[in-house]
Structure formats: structure tokens, C-alpha cells
Structure 1
């Protein structure tokens, strides 16, 4: 992987991609955590199948390549045996992935503060140790937020998803945004216009379904339906991996940080964002095509 940046954290290892054998029509869902990964994967699964009642089984059928939990040889063999079109996921920034000129890369982003507060809930719902430094059991807001702002983009810090890692994802995505097979999506836009999002993804993937089928697929991909049927749609749902499959889909809303951060914390966040991004780039990362509101 000499031409790629190394992302090696407690949970993830992007060197695992060296054992991935790509196909020209593969679909790559690439996001920071808690930014709409499962939502976009579900959209892809629904479009692939054309069946609103499909069992996505995302952890098995659309695996997270980078995570160390499963042996990569087993993951690679399972993917190689699939006779149908495939999709995989990654939480590694694009500069750490083996970019190809074929396939489709679907990159999803969310307001960094929304992603942060969603991640706070997430680490309480999974049986994975090692987050105590960033997310202490007493949920000390000052400590948690300071480490969100101070954490590094790579190495030990990256799996705790500090702001620097989100920004690294975004900058690496922007560097490839002019490629015809790299598309950026925003959680807020998906919330505002799910039908439009799914139509765009279908077009990118070269998939067409009759209007009545698309309408049923859009209904299946709504947040309320996914939460109601969390055992079907949550990663490893129905297998007891998480404390609560339903809590994986916590609220699906934006503006989670409002009323939860002090004015000093918000100023520190603003300084970090303004030093990293120009106003237009910051506006999109936070609010998508809405530009400057969370509505």
C-alpha cells in the first residue's frame, strides 16, 4: 500500500484492503462513523434487490473492510464467492483507500457536531472496549468535547472519531470530488429529500425500477421504518451484538448539540473549523446543500 496513507487504529487497519480483489462494478460506501453509513448501505441494498423487504445483513453481505474483528482472509473469500454485484463499506478516508477509476464511491458526510453526539450514544451501545479515554463512563462533557477537538486524524485517536478525523475524510473526498465515480452526499440532504437521494444513487449505479417499486423502496429506507425494524437494518441486527438494535437508530435528527455545549466550547469548535476550511466548504460539511441552516 505504498501509494496510500496508513490509517492504523485500535479497531481498524486499512492495510486489509491489500487482500481485497475489486470488480469493475463494485460500490464503495465511504464515510466517517455515524454520518449515514448504514443508511446509504441500506439504500444500495434496496436498489440492488428491488425488494422493500430485503434482508440487508450488512455486516456479512456488505462488510466493513477495515475492521479487525473478522479475519480478512475470510472476508475476502466471502466477497470473492459472491456471484452478484457487491458493495463494501469503509471508515477510512479516501487517501487511505485503493482508488479505482471503475466502481462507484458514495461518500456521506454529516454536521461534525451531530456526528459527535451520535457517536457518544453509539459507544454506550456497543460491547467494544477502548473508548474510555475519549468517552469516560461519567460522561464528563468537558473532557469528551476537548478530546473531540484535540484528537488526531490517525493512529490511536482515529477510531474515537475526533474532529480531525472527520476533516481528514472531507479533505480527502474533496480532492477526488471531480472524478466521475466519486459522489458526495450529505445526511441533511438525505433527510430533506430521500426520494431524490435514492433516484440519484440509482442513476449512479445504473439501476432502474418502476415508479411504484421505487416508491416502496423509499418508504423502506425511511428512518422510522429502519428504527421500527432495527433487527433487520442495524449492523449485525438481531444477533445480540449491540445492547439495543433500536438505539443504533437513536433519533436521526440534526442539531443534537444545541443547548449542550457552552459558548466557550462552540467558539473553540468555530476556530478549529475556520482554520481548516473555507466558508463554502465549511457550510456544505455542516449543512449540505442547505448551506447555512439545519432545516
Structure 2
């Protein structure tokens, strides 16, 4: 197989990154299986595995950075398959992906100004999956290195384009919280200000009729409560002391109630609030709290 390896990789690239097929970011299962099989065949050959990773990275680079071609997502999918197939390959691919995503979010490679917002927002939406994959592959240092720049980029994009980044911020934060045990010291991640902002903003965002946004908020708050309840409780106490109690604040408190300790903390607040008023949506929230 080795003499034909370069030919195989070229064929995979041509089949997956055909400019005439931009309808989906998915690639055929057969090609995914073939890539995995090749990586499996050379799992004890470090140099060949590195060569595969480098070749696929080089082949995919123009399709990722020239976002106007419309194949960024599909090229990223190809590289995600390679990264999943080998830790050695992942250590080569993942830092490069983080660098490229940073370039796209900063619009460093955008040639057409009219496409700028679309490309930036698309790149931002890739972040959660790639951070999650990096953690899954055991490459947490890649996440540590990339995170400060991504958080700053999210802040800047929010200032430019508004609420379009909100679901990504919540989803990214939920991933970091739910996977915090994978980091040697999650406390040193530069997320304190981000989490505080999201808890503060969630009271307003929970009022919105946006099912995707609401789901991401709910997942974020529940993960926060399970991973670091004391910090979340402190942030919620600040909101309780500075706002009038309403359905969205009560929903936030209910989402944070995930176990006996959190019920001891917020159970009385919930009961007192329910004595005042309750609506259908809030009833569902309380039922979910009891089920948790």
C-alpha cells in the first residue's frame, strides 16, 4: 500500500473537495472508512502517519482559507476524520486548524468585502466542534493555546454583528465546563469573564423566542452547576440582588438546581417566587428541575 499512498490521498481529496458539490459538509462514509483503515494500517509507523497528516493538511489548506470557494466546512470534515484516526495526526492537524479558524474569524483571508460577515460567522460556528474534538483527542494544550484568541474574537464579533454569536458562546462554554475534568487545571483557563457575562446575559436571552439559543443556555447553566456550583451560585446571587424576580430569572435559578446541595441553596427562592405567579413555560422549567 505504501507506494500508492500519495495516490490514495489525492483521490480522497478530489472526491471530497469537488467544487461542484457544495450542498453539505459531509463526506461519504466509504471515504471516511478508507482514511481510518489507512491510518490503522500505519499506526505503528510514526513517520508515515505524520506524512499522511501533513499531506492532508497541505491538500486541504487552500479549500479552508479560500472560504469564497464554499468548501471550508467539507475540507474541515476531511481533516477531522484524519485527526480522529490517530493521536499523532491530531497533534499535527489540530494546531493548524486553530490557526486557520483564527485567520477566518479575523477575516485575514477574505478577498470579497461583501462576504466578510458570512465567512466570519461560519468560522465562529466551527469553533465548538473543533474545541470538543481537540479535547476528545487528548490535545488539551491546543485548546489552552487557542482559547484566549478565540474569546477575544467572539467579543469583537459580538460588537460587530450582535446576537449571531450568542449560541456559539454558550455552546463553547458548555463544552469547556462539561469537559473540565480533562484539563490538568481547568481553573487557569481564561474563561472567568466569559462565564460571568453569559450568566448575566442569560436572564435576558431566556426571554427570547429562539429555541436554539434557549437550548444552548440551558445546557450551559446545567453544566456550570454540575462542574462549579459555588461560582455559579455567587453569580446568580448577584443577579438576584440586582434584578426584580421574573420568569427568566426564576428559570435561570431552576436550571442551576441540579442536586441536593443546589436545592438547599435555591429551593427556598424558587418556592417564594412560585407563590407569586406561574405560567405554562415556567411550569415546564420547574418540572425539569424536579426530574433532575
TM-score (norm 1): 0.28
The structure showing larger relative contact order (alpha-carbon pairs under 8 Å, at least 6 residues apart) is: 1
Pair member with larger Rg: 2
Between Structure 1 and Structure 2, the one with more helix by share is: 2
TM-score (norm 2): 0.28
